[in-house]
Amino acid sequence: MALEYPDNLQYLDTHEYARLDEDEEIVTVGLSAFAIDQLGDIVFLELPEVGDTVEKGEKFGTIESVKAVEDLKSPISGEVLSRNDILLGEPEQIADDPYGDGWLLKIKPDDLEDLDDAMSAEDYRDQVEGM
């Protein structure tokens, strides 16, 4: 299966992605298809509550596959506007559509400059595929 690296996203070296909406007011955070593929069958997810704040580079949740437990890190500081409650109930669905229905959080960013440190799709792909 060829993995996707959508161009309109920015990526962390810890495999989370950030997508800025057109009005530049909301950032959607998820996990890259590469990371989900590497983790294998996802069985558990922990996310913050709506209204919580998240910090750039800090842990905001946990994702578990059958074998592995991994921290989720935020690409940006801000307030949690919504979280994907469907995914909390059926975490395995994250693999079906990581960049669409498999999103994790929508964040109201404090400062969009936080994203300046994130990678382009091309850079991220080069890093993870190591070519």
Partner 1 sequence: MQCKVRTPGLNNPVGAEKIPLPTLSLTRMGNERVLATYNRSHIQPFNAPMSLRTPLYPLSVDLNARFTDFAGWEMPVQYSGIKQEHQAVRGQAGMFDISHMGKFTLQGKAVLAQLQKLVPSYLGKLPVGQAQYTVLLNPQGGIIDDLIIYNQGTTADGSERVTIIVNAATTDKDKDWLLAHLDPATLTFKDLSRDLALIAIQGPTAIATLQPFITEDLGTVARFGHIQGTVLGQPAFLARTGYTGEDGFEVMVSPAVGQTLWQKLLDAGVEPCGLGARDTLRLEAAMALYGQDITDETTPLEAALGWLVHLDDVTDCMGRDRLMTQKATGLERKLVGLQMTGRAIARHDYPVLHDGKPVGQVTSGTLSPTLGYPVALAYVPAALAKVGQTLAVEIRGQAHPAQVVKRPFYRRPS
For residues 34 and 99, which CB has a smaller minimum distance to partner 1 in the complex?
Answer: 34
The first and second tokens of residue 34, run together, are 């590469």
End-to-end CA distance of the chain: 17
CA distance 10 to 79: 19
For residues 25 and 40, which CB has a smaller minimum distance to partner 1 in the complex?
Answer: 40
Cα of 104 vs its chain's centroid, Å: 6
Interface characters, 44-63, with partner 1 (x: CB under 8 A): x-x---------------xx
For residues 21 and 40, which CB has a smaller minimum distance to partner 1 in the complex?
Answer: 40
**Are the beta carbons of 4 and 123 closer than 8 angstroms?**
no
Q: What is the smallest separation between the CB atom of 22 and partner 1, expressed in angstroms?
A: 28
Which residues of this chain interact with partner 1, rule CB under 8 A? 13-16, 31, 34-35, 38-41, 43-44, 46, 62-73, 127-130
